[in-house]
Amino acid sequence: MKWEKLLSRGRFGDQSPETNATSSRSEFEIDYDRIIFSAPFRNLQDKTQVFPLPDQAFVHTRLTHSLEVSSVGRSLGKEAGLRLLEKYPALSQTGITAYEIGAIVAAAALTHDIGNPPFGHAGEDAISDFFKFHPSGKAWQSHVRPEQWADLCNFEGNAQGFRMLVSKDFGLKLTYATLAAFTKYPRPAAIAQRDVARKSQKKYGFFINQLVDFEKMSRHLGLEKSSAECWVRHPLAFLVEAADDICYSIIDLEDGCTMGLVSFEDTVKLLAPILREKFDPKKMEGRSQSRNLGALRAMAIGRLIQECVEVFGQYEESMRKGTFDKALTDIIPSAGALAEISKVSIQKIYRSKVVLEKEAAGFQVLEGLFSVFSKALYHQFYDPSKFSGQDKSILRLLPEDFPLHKGWGEEVNPYPLLRSLVDFISGMTDKYALNLYRRVKGISFPGA
C-alpha cells in the first residue's frame, strides 16, 4: 500500500474532483466539521461512557470522551505526519501536509463511538442477546441468511458506526481516508476463521450489506487483503485506536478517582510509572486534589502520545505491508503501566456497583424495546392472525422514514427491516430509550 493513495482526498459518494479550490478548509477539515454538526454526533452527549451522570461530580459522556480522543488523535496524526513527510519527501508533491494527516486522524477519532448504542458496551451485548436468546428475536433466524444472522447476533458498534457514516440519510459524504482510518476492524462478521494474532480481526467493522461500500473504499485507497475475507488496516487506524486507548485508560481512571472508587494515592501510583522522571511529588504540595489530578493526566497523555508516535514511525512500513497488526499501546514503553491501570479499572471501576446497576438496567430497557417492536413487525409480516391493535400502536411509534410496508401479505425483505429497527433503537440516547421503554410498558405516561 502506498501513502499517496492512502491519503487520497477522494470523497465517498461524490464524483467531484479531489480538491476543493474554493474552500479555505482542507477536505479532511470539512470531514471534521460535518461530523461535529451531525445529529448522531450530538446524540453522544446523552450516551454513557462508563458512569451514569451524577448530580455533582463531572464524569465523561460519549461526547466529551470523543472530543478528547479526537484532540489526542490530532496530536498523534500531526506528529506522525511530520515524520512521514521527512521520511518520504515525494509526499509533499501531492500537497499533503502534517496538519491534514492530523485532521484525518482527528475526524476519524471523533466518530469512533458514533455507532455505540445506549448504555455503553452493555448495550451492545443486550442487542446481541436479544437475537440470540429472546423468543421474539430468535423467531427471525429462519427468515435471513446465515451471514445476516451473524450480524444481528453479534451487534458491533464499529460496524454500526461505518453504516451510519456511509448512510445517505445523514449526507456526510466523508473522505475515503477518514472512513478507512475509522475502520479498526476491516472485516465482516461471518468469516471462516479468525486470525487471533491480528488485532484488526478481533471484532468486525461492517455489516454484510455494507460490503459493497467497504470494497469501494478499499479499491480507491489501495487497501490490500490479509486473507480471502479480511483486509489490512489503513495505517492511520492504528493512531485512532491509540488515541482511544490512551483516553479511556487515563481518563476513566481520573473519573474513577473523582467518583471515589480509586483513591487519589492509588491513582498517583498508577500514573507515576508513565511519567517517570517528570513525576515530582513536591509540585503537588499546596494544590487541590482536582488540580493535581488534571496535571498528572495531562502529563501522562503527553508522554503516551510521544511513545505511540515513536512506535508508529518504527512500524509504519510493516503496517502498509500488512505484517504489523498490534495495538500501539501494547508495545510502547508504558505498556506495562497501562496494563496495571486496566487491571485496577476492571476491579474497582467497571465492576463497581453504580456501573453494574446501569448495565443491568440497560439490558432490561433494550430487551424490552426490541421485544415490543420486533414482535409487532413479526406479527404484521409473518403471523398476521396475531397482529393486534397493540401492535399497530407500537408500529406507529417508528420513525416516519422507517421502511415499513403498508398492508399485509406484501413481500418483505426481513434483513433491511431488522437493520432499520437496530438503527432506530441503537441510535437512541440513554434517557430517550429509558423514557420510551417506560411508556411502551405502561410504567409512565407522556407528560408524567
Share of residues in the chain with pLDDT > 70 (%): 92
Delimiting residues of CATH 1.10.3550.10 domain(s) in the chain: 120-153+355-448
End-to-end alpha carbon distance in the chain: 58
- Across 12-16, 119-123, 376-380, the highest mean pLDDT is recorded for 376-380
Question: Which tens digit of pLDDT belongs to each residue from 321-377?
Answer: 999 999 999 999 999 999 999 999 888 888 888 778 888 888 999 999 999 999 999
pLDDT digits (tens, 9 = 90+) for 34-92: 999 998 898 888 776 555 544 444 567 888 889 999 999 999 999 999 999 999 999 98
Given phi > 0 = left and psi -120 to 50 = alpha, else beta, which region is 131? alpha
Q: For residue 440, count CB atoms less than 10 angstroms from its CB and return exposed for 0-12, middle for 13-18, buried for 19 or more.
A: middle
CATH code, 3-119+154-234: 1.10.3210.10
- CATH 1.10.3410.10 residue ranges of the chain are 236-353
**Per residue in 178-197, pLDDT tens?**
999 999 999 999 898 888 89
The residue among 122 and 334 whose pLDDT is bigger is 334
Cβ-based burial of 142 (10 A; exposed 0-12, middle 13-18, buried ≥19): exposed
Q: Amino acid identity, residue 9?
A: R
What CATH number is given for 120-153+355-448 in this structure? 1.10.3550.10
For CATH 1.10.3210.10, list the domain ranges present in the chain: 3-119+154-234
Show the cell assigned to 150. 451473524
CATH 3.40.50.300 for domain 236-353, yes or no, is no
- What are the grid coordinates assigned to 187, written together? 472485516
**Which residues have CB under 8 Å from 426's CB, separation 6+?**
115, 116, 117, 118, 123, 127, 155, 160
Distance CA 374, CA 215 (A): 31
* Per-residue pLDDT tens over the stretch 207-263: 999 999 999 999 999 999 998 899 999 999 999 999 999 998 998 888 888 888 889
